Structure 1
Amino acid sequence: MDLKAGLWQQQTLKLAMTQELTQAIALLQYSAQELTSFLENKALENPLIKVENNNIQPINPLIDRNRRKHTKNTENEWIEQIAAKTSSVEEQLISQLKMQKYSSKQLRVIKYLIENLDVNGYLSSEPKEISEQLGVPLELVEESIIVIQALEPAGIGARDLQECLLIQIERENLEDDLALTILTQYFIPFAEKKWKQIAKELQIPLQKIQEIFDTIQQLNPRPGALFEQESSSYIIPDAIVERVGEGFSVRLCDDIIPKISFNDNYYKSFTSSQDAQVGRFLQEKVQDYQWILRSIEQRKETLTRVVSKIVEKQIPFFEKGREYLVPMTMKEIAVELDIHESTVSRAVKEKYVQTPIGTFSLKSFFTSTIQTVSNESTSSSQVKNAIASLIETENKQRPLSDQEIVEELKKCQGIVVSRRTIAKYRDQLGIPSSSKRKRFD
Structure 2
Amino acid sequence: MALMPGLQLNIGQQLKLTPQLQQSIKILQYSAMEVQQTIDTMLETNFMLEVDEEEIGSDENDARKEDEKDSGGDEELTKEEQPLDIEHDNQIDDNIELDMQWDEVFSDHTSSSAGSDSAESTAAENYTSAETTLHDHLQWQLDVAPFDERQTVLASYIIDDINDEGFLGSGSDLDSLLATINDNETDDEHPLYSLEELEATLKQVQQFEPNGVAARNLQESLLLQLAGFPQTPYVVTAQKLIEENFDWLTFHDHKRIKKVYGLNDEELNTLLRLIQSLNPRPGRDFSPTQSEVVIPDLRLKRLKNGWVVELNQDAFPRLSVNSTYLKLASELDDSDQNKRIKDQVNEAKGLIKSIQNRGETLLRVGTFIVDRQQSFFEEGEQAMKPLVLREVAEHLDLHESTISRATNQKYIQTPRGTFELKYFFSTGVSQYGSADQSATAIKAHIKQLIDEEDPKKPLSDSKLMKILEEEKDISVARRTIAKYREAMNIPSSSERKRLNKYKF
TM-score normalised by structure 2 residue count: 0.72
Question: 2:159 aligns to what?
Answer: 114
| In structure 2, distance between residues paired with 1:205 and 1:9 | 88
Alignment CA distance shift 1:242-1:86 (3 Å): closer
| In structure 2, distance between residues paired with 1:274 and 1:256 | 40
* 8 A contact 1:399–1:437 mirrored in 2: yes
* 8 A contact 1:369–1:377 mirrored in 2: yes
Q: 2:471 aligns with which of 404, 408, 412?
A: 412
Render the CA deviation track for 1:142-201: whole Å, top value 9, x for unaligned: 222222222222111211111111222232336434322332222234213344555565
| In structure 1, distance between residues paired with 2:454 and 2:225 | 31
Q: 2:169 aligns with which of 113, 124, 128?
A: 124
Q: 1:164 aligns with which of 195, 216, 221?
A: 221
| In structure 1, distance between residues paired with 2:143 and 2:32 | 51
| In structure 2, distance between residues paired with 1:35 and 1:121 | 36
Superposed, which structure 2 residues align to 1:30-429 within 5 Å? 30-52=30-52, 84-96=129-141, 99=144, 101-125=146-170, 126-132=173-179, 133-134=181-182, 135-173=192-230, 175-196=234-255, 198=257, 209=268, 211-273=270-332, 275-396=334-455, 399-429=458-488
Render the CA deviation track for 1:329-387: whole Å, top value 9, x for unaligned: 22222221121222222112212212222222222111221233452222212211222
Alignment CA distance shift 1:366-1:394 (3 Å): same
Larger RCO, structure (CA 8 Å, separation 6 or more): 2
* 8 A contact 2:229–2:235 mirrored in 1: no
* 8 A contact 1:333–1:344 mirrored in 2: yes
Alignment CA distance shift 1:9-1:233 (3 Å): closer
* 8 A contact 2:166–2:281 mirrored in 1: yes
Alignment CA distance shift 1:282-1:435 (3 Å): same
- One-letter code aligned to 2:39: L
| In structure 1, distance between residues paired with 2:7 and 2:178 | 77
Alignment CA distance shift 1:267-1:99 (3 Å): closer
Question: 1:66 aligns to what?
Answer: none
| In structure 1, distance between residues paired with 2:396 and 2:132 | 52
What stretches of structure 1 of length at least 5 have no aligned partner?
A: 56-76
CA RMSD after TM alignment: 3.4
* 8 A contact 2:386–2:439 mirrored in 1: yes
Alignment CA distance shift 1:213-1:414 (3 Å): farther
Shift of 1:131: 4.3
| In structure 2, distance between residues paired with 1:172 and 1:54 | 65
- Indicate the larger mover: 278-287 or 193-202: 193-202
| In structure 1, distance between residues paired with 2:424 and 2:461 | 26
TM-score normalised by structure 1 residue count: 0.81
- One-letter code aligned to 1:116: D
* 8 A contact 1:372–1:415 mirrored in 2: yes
| In structure 2, distance between residues paired with 1:409 and 1:213 | 35
| In structure 1, distance between residues paired with 2:10 and 2:153 | 78
| In structure 1, distance between residues paired with 2:468 and 2:166 | 42
| In structure 2, distance between residues paired with 1:427 and 1:436 | 12
* 8 A contact 1:54–1:256 mirrored in 2: no
Render the CA deviation track for 1:79-126: whole Å, top value 9, x for unaligned: xx99x5444434423544694743332233223322221111112333
- Indicate the larger mover: 45-54 or 304-313: 45-54
Alignment CA distance shift 1:209-1:421 (3 Å): farther
* 8 A contact 1:193–1:435 mirrored in 2: no
Q: Secondary structure at the match of 1:249?
A: strand
* 8 A contact 1:371–1:415 mirrored in 2: no
Alignment CA distance shift 1:203-1:399 (3 Å): farther
| In structure 2, distance between residues paired with 1:102 and 1:292 | 59
Render the CA deviation track for 1:11-57: whole Å, top value 9, x for unaligned: 97x643222211111112233332222122223333322234679xx
- Indicate the larger mover: 256-265 or 268-277: 268-277
Alignment CA distance shift 1:30-1:124 (3 Å): closer
- One-letter code aligned to 1:105: R
Shift of 1:206: 6.8
| In structure 1, distance between residues paired with 2:366 and 2:145 | 65
Alignment CA distance shift 1:402-1:169 (3 Å): farther
- One-letter code aligned to 1:359: T
Shift of 1:222: 1.0
| In structure 2, distance between residues paired with 1:94 and 1:354 | 41
What stretches of structure 2 of length at least 5 have no aligned partner?
A: 1-5, 56-123, 183-191
Total equivalences in the alignment: 412
